[in-house]
Amino acid sequence: MGSLELKSIRKAFGTHEVLKGIDLEVRDGEFVIFVGPSGCGKSTLLRVIAGLEDATSGSVRIDGAEVVNTPPAKRGIAMVFQSYALYPHLNVKDNMGLGLKQAGTERAEIDARVGKASTMLSLDPYLARRPAELSGGQRQRVAIGRAIVREPKLFLFDEPLSNLDAALRVQTRLEIAGLHRRLKATMIYVTHDQVEAMTLADKIVVLNAGAIEQIGSPMELYNKPANTFVAGFIGSPQMNFIAAEKLGPSEAKTIGIRPEHIALARESGDWKGKVIHVEHLGADTIVYLETEMTGLLTVRLFGEHRYAPDDVVYATPDKASLHRFDTNDRAIA
């Protein structure tokens, strides 16, 4: 079991309130990701769950038991840090088993758990090596293995891929996804990378300025953002926002349209504009254009398209894919 319930979690550093009353339920076996801009409180919230930070007020319950006054070592959690936090003088096997050794676990049990985790993470050939002899991706797998051997109720990940290069990020992301399927464990993961969030999470929690903006599945947040903040944060390239008054009478203050929901043509369309920049990405072409009607627009076209700066083009949005937001920036159903 590994359920989590947070109620009215607040955290202040002096007069600065970092968390402003967080309520959240995580079911056993869920993969939940906290996303948001730098300084939004996501890492602080993870540390409150782990017990590395004391909440100013509120309740933290793991499997129904209140743990807000329970020390980290007794909460049944294991945390994987951005920095790996491996002991340089210990080899891989001893790094992975150190926590069990310190807890007084028998040697045979430590060997069995480390062996199982190392096989799961393809670390068997590296058990005798020290961290300095490993790549960044291998070191991160050791850190994950150290968490696995503890058999925790909750796995907590604090931006675990941020120190890896692009190729290793993809590879390690796939390994973490596979690990979640095999262990069927509850995982809570902090990242600023929305690609990680969209590809890994069962449920995403979008945080902003210490408060939750929206909770939902990746595609729920993508297709039905609750407000302009979520609409602009989830999705790359970012959603286009247009003042509704420019498009005619409307109950909305702002109209949103995702870049892939705009078609381009050279002859005719709704909004005439001029191309100012083009990004050729192979599978996609991103076109930035300026129109008198809407201002700057970002358009995502699938495949290779031969547009160039100063080309005159016409943009036409998919009317069924427009998002409407009111004067409080909330979505209009």
- Residue whose entry in the numeric block shows the structure tokens 């995982």: 187
Identify the CATH assignment for 237-325 out of 3.30.2320.20, 3.40.630.30, 2.40.50.140, 1.10.150.130: 2.40.50.140
CATH level 3 topology of 4-227: Rossmann fold (3.40.50)
**The dihedral of CA 164, 170, 175, 179: what is its sign?**
positive
Please report the DSSP string for 96-126 in residue order. HHHHHHHTT--HHHHHHHHHHHHHHTT-GGG
Q: Report mean pLDDT in 10-residue bins for the chain, 333 residues.
A: 92 95 96 94 95 95 94 90 87 92 90 91 93 90 90 91 82 88 92 90 96 97 97 94 89 96 95 97 96 94 95 96 96 92
Instruction: Give the ranges where 184-224 is alpha helix by DSSP (H).
Output: 194-200, 218-223
Cis upstream peptide for 237 (omega within 30°):
yes
Query: In the chain, what are the domain boundaries?
Result: 4-227, 237-325
pLDDT of residue 1: 65
Kindly report whether the global pTM for this prediction surpasses the value 0.85.
yes
Query: Up-side HSE of residue 133: CA atoms within 13 Å toward CB?
Result: 11
Distance CA 212, CA 232 (A): 15
